[in-house]
Structure 1
Amino acid sequence: MSEADRLFASPQPPADFTFNEDVVRVFPDMIKRSVPGYPTIVENLGVIAARFAQPHSRLYDLGCSLGAVTQALRRHVRAEGTRVVAIDNSTAMVTRCREYLSAQDSMHEELLPVEVVEADILDVPLESASVIALNFTLQFIAPKQRLDLLSRLRANLLPGGALLLSEKIRFSESQTQELLNGLHLDFKRANGYSELEIAQKRTALENVMLTDTLDEHRARLQGAGFTTVVPWFQCLNFTSLIALP
């Protein structure tokens, strides 16, 4: 079971955020209280994937963390012969993800088969796929590596497939950025985070999670060979996009 997120509740020396065992233990609570609209995004990624999934193809969940998107894909996709490949480079995440998926198997029948792989998505060989999900993953990839990754994903995407990308975004207009950033902080306060927790987590993430504007995402996706980029969801400074080849 997930614990309440109290990782930054007491003063601690500055350190970069990592997806270690401590984070994994509280991750479901952390992301629910930190990312507005997260449950809506995850469930609808399954719904959207069902439209683009092709028979006898792979569905990738890259940076799968605890497998929330993988579970949504398995709930909604019914294309014959499809299978999910979930990949993450955190040993702690992969271990817990496998436990959660095993629990899902015990509660449902006729779910898509799934393989959980511990690997770096920048290095692992990928095969052709009809759906590729990057759910709050690209923002943790070094900016100089993002175009190459997306170009590789585009090359492995089947005609008629889709890339599903969710990200925290920033805004080029300072007034908009200040407003939506402030509203996001209000969202965290409303979910019980203290000023100390907010400040310490922001410090931990500032060198690890580097955000782009929506225009930067669109331009990069087009540079990678995607012809259509459709934002289908936004809540405050979090968005989800469908990119089509």
Structure 2
Amino acid sequence: MKDKVFDKPIEKKFEFDEAVASVFDDMLSRSVPFYDEVRQLIISVILAEEGEGKSLLDLGSSTAKFLLDLDSKLSTKMHLKGIDNSQAMLDRARQKCQAFGAEIDLELADMLEYEFGGDDVIVSNYTLQFIRPMQRPELVKKIYDGLNQDGIFIFSEKVVFEDKRLDKQLIDIYYNYKKAQGYSEYEIAQKREALENVLIPFTIEENIQMCKKAGFKQVSTLFQWANFVTFIAKK
């Protein structure tokens, strides 16, 4: 279904409700530059670390698109789990998993309260940016503590830049990208207003330092397009 969530006046701040869940896959593909390519890149990195009996957790698993793609490419038995705090997202995810016959554990949970532990890989695609800045470092520390030895944390985030002129230029480039994907100026403005004080990005350096302070020994970037970046942190 095509994303038309913001083609009418907004009545509330952005939330992952049924209206968003029903068009979420289209929203991601059209709103996040190179989303499909980044998803495949992350899967390739995970496959390089693949091993019998390993466990992966997807934070903010939404409609399970990432987990289903990964499941279809695995050559060994890997335990795949996803958590999300949106029942609407989980309902669609479970329908898709059933349709594809995929054995993926899905759980309704708040990641801030979730009991991490026993995972070899944790993935978070454009999810941390919705966690309040004061709570983010503590969450990343819990992620670090919950990973098995030599575990990896792969996460994608929208970022800001300390150079305000560059930041504005990249925002304009991104808006032109969204127009090219078929979004109107009205829809773009409506979504920006809905996300204000809901999506709060860090700089690239702030994300890296947050991971290092949590204990990760190596933090690198896997991909960047303007103000969208994918990181990998190794325990």
TM-score, normalised relative to structure 2 = 0.95
Cα-to-partner distance string for 1:61-120 (whole Å, 9 max, x where unaligned) = 01101112212321333344x201100000000000111122222xxxxx6x31000111
Q: Does 1:187 align with 2:185?
A: no
Task: List alignment gaps of at least 5 residues for structure 2.
Answer: none
Aligned mates of 1:152, 1:78 — CA distance in 2: 30
Cα-to-partner distance string for 1:156-189 (whole Å, 9 max, x where unaligned) = 1112221001011111111210111111000011
1:7 corresponds to which residue? 5
Q: CA RMSD in A?
A: 1.3
1:79-228 aligned at under 5 Å gives the runs 79-80=76-77, 82-105=78-101, 113-228=103-218
* 1:98 alignment partner AA: R
Preserved CA contact (<8 Å) 1:52 1:162: no
Cα distance, 1:125 vs structure 2: 1.5
Aligned mates of 2:195, 2:9 — CA distance in 1: 16
Preserved CA contact (<8 Å) 1:47 1:76: no
Preserved CA contact (<8 Å) 2:117 2:145: no
How many aligned positions are there? 235
Cα distance, 1:126 vs structure 2: 2.1
Cα-to-partner distance string for 1:116-142 (whole Å, 9 max, x where unaligned) = 001111112222111000111100111
* 2:37 alignment partner AA: T
Secondary structure of 1:169's partner? Answer: strand
1:32-43 aligned at under 5 Å gives the runs 32-43=29-40
Aligned mates of 1:221, 1:97 — CA distance in 2: 29
Cα-to-partner distance string for 1:29-56 (whole Å, 9 max, x where unaligned) = 1111110010011122211112234432
Aligned mates of 2:49, 2:55 — CA distance in 1: 11
Aligned mates of 1:119, 1:197 — CA distance in 2: 30
2:24 corresponds to which residue? 27
Aligned mates of 1:8, 1:73 — CA distance in 2: 30
TM-score, normalised relative to structure 1 = 0.92
Aligned mates of 1:12, 1:164 — CA distance in 2: 33
Secondary structure of 2:160's partner? Answer: coil
Task: List alignment gaps of at least 5 residues for structure 1.
Answer: 106-110
Aligned mates of 1:151, 1:174 — CA distance in 2: 30
Cα-to-partner distance string for 1:165-219 (whole Å, 9 max, x where unaligned) = 1011111111210111111000011111111111110000012110010000000
Q: Does 1:234 align with 2:216?
A: no
1:108 corresponds to which residue? none
